[in-house]
């Protein structure tokens, strides 16, 4: 992490430095003044809040609909859209328009439909107040940095990065966002569902005693494959089929299982300090499935010795589970990700909490409420920790070694191409047989 520089001795402070500092302070104060004015206008409901969607895929369309349906600030408009590929904008705009009754909430003419790898920057200059960052996670650090620099409130999808340098960039940009008074939400919708908040609160209040261990699962069939298209470059192919490339998607332990890992960290009110684990690919073999594993099993250790056992699998016809469990000295909590939570204190009747509302909507209601009230709102720090925890797990399964948090967070392994454009070389390529190499425990350097 960046260290603060000690102040220079006053004898060495030149008048020029002093003026520079004063004008920066003045500019900062003016910016804050404008911002609080802008937010009080939002609070009064007298202003239309303009939204940009960056990444017009499945979740992006859903996030835009949730934003337009938020119950806190009804005066919102979808104003700009950006995607790497033009057809994604068209289909997404169609889908959002069909889903929203109040068509006047959608105002995205051709001139505010931006296409390309730099399209996100153009949305920031289109007069919007809020950006929804829903691209593949490898792009998140650069797009979050740009949004904060441009002074936008942000909703960004999880995970927030695919490697440690990306996590550090998110943490740095998050600190800037706080200084600028920007609201930042992250798509960990479970944190907003009552069936989660109620049981986690009770666990923190001691309902099941001291935590003994945690178990978290994301075991399912897997996710869709996007086959290579005629005439497509290798980079276009990888960005379209991003799930299967670590530099873009992070592997499914990071992209998907981060939901459960995040709940584990939430129970523990901390991040682990160490991880070791095993993983591999047993059925995920072929030219279409990139370089990611199909299973990971990780034992995370928190300071003080608490363990979290984490399992994620993408193999059809096996036991499926999207769930989180806390075991304490006086009872247990069992949460089905999108089902019911059961809190059992030993010897007492279990308490049940059903899923009442979809957290994807609630998280957007909460973000817009904060924008309206001007309340400080930042989910980026703990989300960055959860993403880093999942990356720590991947480092353990890929390397076959024990990985410590402090070393992992300092990792300089950053495969994301610098100054990415459509002419860039992707960081991984298929071999002569068309297959991509994947990590080999005992051989792969993972941090
Ligand atoms: N919170 C949840 O429940 C949830 C559910 C699904 C997905 N997600 C997350 O949402 C994100 C997107 O997932 P998805 O399922 O919508 O994927 P998707 O492939 O359907 O959509 C991604 C979109 O981003 C576009 N894109 C790629 N690179 C871009 C770039 N540089 N600039 C602009 N656009 C770019 C793609 O063309 C595509 O349209 C991921 O981070 C994923 O983990 C979260």
Q: Over its length of 447 residues, how does the chain's per-residue pLDDT go in tens digits?
A: 232 222 222 222 232 332 233 333 333 333 333 333 344 445 444 589 999 999 999 999 999 999 999 999 999 999 999 999 999 999 999 999 999 999 999 999 999 999 999 999 999 999 999 999 999 999 999 999 999 999 999 999 999 999 999 999 999 999 999 999 999 999 999 999 999 999 999 999 999 999 999 999 999 999 999 999 999 999 999 999 999 999 999 999 999 999 999 999 999 999 999 999 999 999 999 999 999 999 999 999 999 999 999 999 999 999 999 999 999 999 999 999 999 999 999 999 999 999 999 999 999 999 999 999 999 999 999 999 999 999 999 999 999 999 999 999 999 999 999 999 999 999 999 999 999 999 999 999 999
For ligand 1, say whether the CB of 81 is within 6 Å of any of its atoms. no
Q: Is the CB of 235 under 6 A from ligand 1?
A: no
Q: Is the CB of 60 under 6 A from ligand 1?
A: yes
Q: Which token pair is 50?
A: 């303009």
């353990």: which residue's tokens? Answer: 396
For the CA of 189, the closest atom of ligand 1 is: 1
Assign residue 353 a region (left: φ > 0; alpha: ψ between -120 and 50; beta: otherwise).
beta
Q: Whose CA is nearest to atom 19 of ligand 1?
A: 57
- Please tell me the predicted confidence (pLDDT) of residue 282: 97
Cβ of 446 closer than 6 Å to ligand 1, yes or no, is no
Does any ligand 1 atom lie closer than 6 A to the CB of residue 218?
no
Ligand 1: which atom is nearest the Cα of residue 140? 41
What percentage of the chain's residues is helix, strand, coil (to nearest 5)? 40, 20, 40
Distance 377 CA to ligand 1 centre (A): 23
- The minimum-distance atom of ligand 1 relative to the CA of 242 is 19
140 touches ligand 1 (CB under 6 Å): no
What is the homologous superfamily of the domain 14-189 according to CATH?
Answer: NAD(P)-binding Rossmann-like Domain (3.40.50.720)
Q: How many Å apart are CA 88 and CA 105, to the nearest integer?
A: 20
CB distance 49 to ligand 1 below 6 Å: no
* Ligand 1 atom, smallest distance to 92 CA: 39
**Residue of minimum CA distance from atom 40 in ligand 1:** 136
* CA angle, residues 234, 120, 244, in degrees to nearest 5: 35
Three-state DSSP state, 258: helix
pTM value? Answer: 0.91
DSSP 8-state secondary structure symbol assigned to residue 109: -
Superfamily of domain 190-409 in CATH is: Dihydrodipicolinate Reductase; domain 2 (3.30.360.10)
Domain coordinates in residue numbering, the chain: 14-189, 190-409
């Amino acid at each position: 992490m960046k260290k603060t520089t000690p102040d220079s001795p006053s004898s060495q402070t030149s008048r020029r430095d002093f003026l520079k500092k004063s004008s920066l302070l003045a500019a900062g104060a003016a910016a804050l003044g404008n911002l609080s004015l802008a937010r009080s206008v939002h609070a009064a409901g007298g202003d239309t809040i303009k939204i940009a969607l960056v990444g017009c895929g499945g979740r992006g369309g859903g996030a835009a609909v949730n934003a337009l349906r938020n119950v806190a600030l009804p005066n919102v408009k979808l104003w700009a859209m950006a995607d790497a590929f033009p057809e994604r904008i068209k289909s997404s705009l169609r889908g959002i328009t069909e889903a929203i009754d109040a068509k006047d909430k959608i105002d995205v003419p051709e001139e505010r439909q931006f296409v390309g790898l730099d399209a996100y920057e153009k949305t920031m200059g289109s007069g919007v107040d809020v950006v929804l960052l829903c691209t593949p996670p490898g792009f998140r650090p650069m797009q979050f940095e740009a949004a904060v620099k441009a002074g936008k409130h942000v909703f960004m999808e999880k995970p927030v990065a695919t490697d440690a340098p990306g996590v550090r960039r998110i943490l740095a940009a998050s600190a800037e966002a706080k200084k600028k008074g920007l609201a930042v939400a992250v798509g960990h919708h479970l944190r907003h569902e009552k069936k989660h908040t109620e049981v986690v609160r009770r666990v923190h209040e001691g309902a099941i005693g001291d935590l003994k261990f945690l178990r978290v699962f994301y075991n399912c069939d897997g996710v869709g494959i996007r086959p290579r298209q005629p005439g497509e470059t290798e980079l276009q192919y990888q960005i379209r089929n991003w799930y299967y490339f670590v530099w873009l998607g992070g592997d499914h332990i990071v992209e998907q299982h981060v939901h459960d890992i995040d709940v584990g960290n939430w129970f523990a009110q901390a991040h682990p300090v160490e991880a070791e684990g095993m993983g591999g690919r047993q059925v995920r073999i072929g030219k279409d499935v990139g370089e990611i594993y199909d299973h990971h099993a990780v034992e995370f250790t928190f300071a003080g010795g608490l363990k979290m056992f984490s399992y994620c699998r993408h193999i059809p016809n096996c036991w499926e589970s999207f769930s989180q469990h806390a075991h304490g000295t006086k009872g247990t909590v069992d949460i089905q990700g999108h089902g019911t939570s059961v809190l059992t204190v030993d010897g007492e009747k279990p308490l049940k909490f059903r899923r009442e509302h979809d957290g994807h909507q609630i998280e957007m209601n909460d973000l817009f409420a904060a924008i309206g009230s001007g309340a400080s709102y930042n989910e980026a720090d703990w989300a960055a920790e959860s993403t880093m925890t999942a990356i720590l797990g991947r480092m353990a399964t890929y390397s076959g070694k024990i990985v410590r948090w402090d070393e992992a967070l300092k990792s300089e392994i950053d495969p994301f191409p610098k100054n990415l454009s459509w002419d860039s070389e992707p960081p991984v390529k298929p071999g002569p047989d068309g297959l991509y190499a994947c990590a080999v425990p005992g051989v792969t350097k993972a941090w």
